[in-house]
């Protein structure tokens, strides 16, 4: 990576940190903004990450988030501030539960329940990480892939890129016919710069990243693509479980697949592994998928 690429990557990460740094407007109320990048709606991972920031700021820092469940109910307007209202559902001896609602024009666009737990010891096991997957240095960078498909750049140009994303297989935005069917969608990711040490911030950054490529796996089963000649989609809901400590600015493998698609909806699930094979998180999402022009 060149010195210029490092500077550009950190600048994008600093922009993400600004997006996640909500202004507190009341005891349990916060306000967030969207980056001005020309997109027609707020990126789902952004509002989910911001909702987790809002919830987490009302919880004792000794308790870390272990799960979240959210629903996208309306498209968000990136030109308007997003108001977050947090409800303290419960503070128990070991767990704290919060409900975080994102609003624009006094209507919810997203709501989330998140649970936080104090550190405990217990049983420890995990399924093994995928075998024979090339490391992040062994697959093309996003810039290298985009160079082959300049006409598809618009799909990615509307999303901020503070994340270094490296697909092991073909991305979902290649030309129709260029993507073989594959039961898995595997992507190496990391925040493309340095993050502060705050565990909540790393969880929010991972939440931001988790929505970026998950639905690709639904299309991957059929060799389908996003955009012209393919499909358009939108996230309907999102669930994420955090299993072990991690840093979102270090490489993790996002191993995704789709167990079912029907009725214009597709279900996607994914596991996240560190480079040394520790499973740090699991995600499940259902999305709306429609043929372009259909």
Q: Annotated catalytic sites, by residue?
A: 211, 235, 285
Number of other CB atoms surrounding residue 252 within 10 Å = 24
Q: Got the DSSP string for 37-58? A: S--SS--HHHHHHHHHHHHHTT
**Coil, helix or strand at residue 99:** strand
The DSSP-derived string for 142-175 is HHHHHHH-GGGHHHHHTS---EEEEESS--TTS-
Q: The tokens of 262 are what?
A: 């029907």
Asked if residues 256 and 217 have their Cβ atoms less than 8 Å apart, the reply is yes
Structure tokens at 77: 């307007």
Report the phi/psi class of residue 193: left, alpha or beta, with left for phi > 0 and alpha for psi in -120 to 50: left
Please name the helix (run of DSSP H) or strand (run of DSSP E) that holds residue 206, with its range, or none: helix 199-210
**249 close to 191: Cβ distance less than 8 angstroms:** yes
Find out whether 245 and 210 touch, Cβ atoms under 8 Å: no
Cβ contact 267:261 at 8 Å: yes
Residues 6+ apart with CB under 8 A from 283: 210, 214, 238, 239, 240, 241, 256, 269, 270, 271, 272
């Amino acid at each position: 990576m060149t010195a210029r690429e490092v500077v550009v990557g950190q600048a994008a990460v600093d922009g993400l940190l600004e997006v996640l740094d909500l202004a507190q407007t009341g005891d349990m109320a916060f306000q967030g903004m969207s980056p001005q990048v020309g997109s027609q709606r707020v990126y789902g991972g952004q509002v989910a990450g911001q909702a987790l920031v809002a919830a987490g700021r009302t919880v004792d820092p000794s308790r870390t988030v272990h799960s979240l469940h959210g629903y996208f109910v309306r498209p968000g307007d990136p030109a308007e501030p997003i108001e977050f209202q947090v409800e303290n559902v419960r503070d128990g001896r070991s767990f704290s539960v919060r409900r975080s609602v994102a609003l624009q024009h006094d209507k919810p666009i997203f709501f989330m329940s998140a649970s936080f737990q104090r550190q405990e010891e217990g049983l420890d096991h995990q399924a093994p990480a995928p075998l024979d997957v090339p490391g992040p240095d062994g697959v093309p960078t996003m810039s290298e892939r985009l160079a082959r498909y300049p006409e598809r750049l618009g799909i990615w140009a509307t999303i901020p890129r503070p994340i270094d994303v490296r697909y092991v297989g073909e991305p979902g935005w290649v030309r129709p016919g260029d993507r073989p069917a594959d039961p898995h969608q595997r992507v190496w990711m990391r925040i493309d710069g340095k993050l502060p040490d705050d565990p909540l911030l790393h969880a929010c950054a991972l939440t931001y990243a988790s929505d970026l490529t998950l639905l690709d796996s639904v299309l991957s089963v059929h060799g389908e693509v996003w955009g012209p000649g393919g499909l358009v989609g939108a996230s309907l809901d999102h669930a994420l479980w955090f299993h072990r400590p991690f840093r979102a600015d270090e490489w993790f493998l996002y191993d995704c697949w789709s167990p079912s698609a029907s009725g214009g909806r597709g279900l996607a699930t994914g596991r996240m592994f560190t480079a040394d094979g520790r499973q740090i998180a699991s995600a499940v999402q259902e999305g709306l998928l429609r043929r372009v022009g259909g």
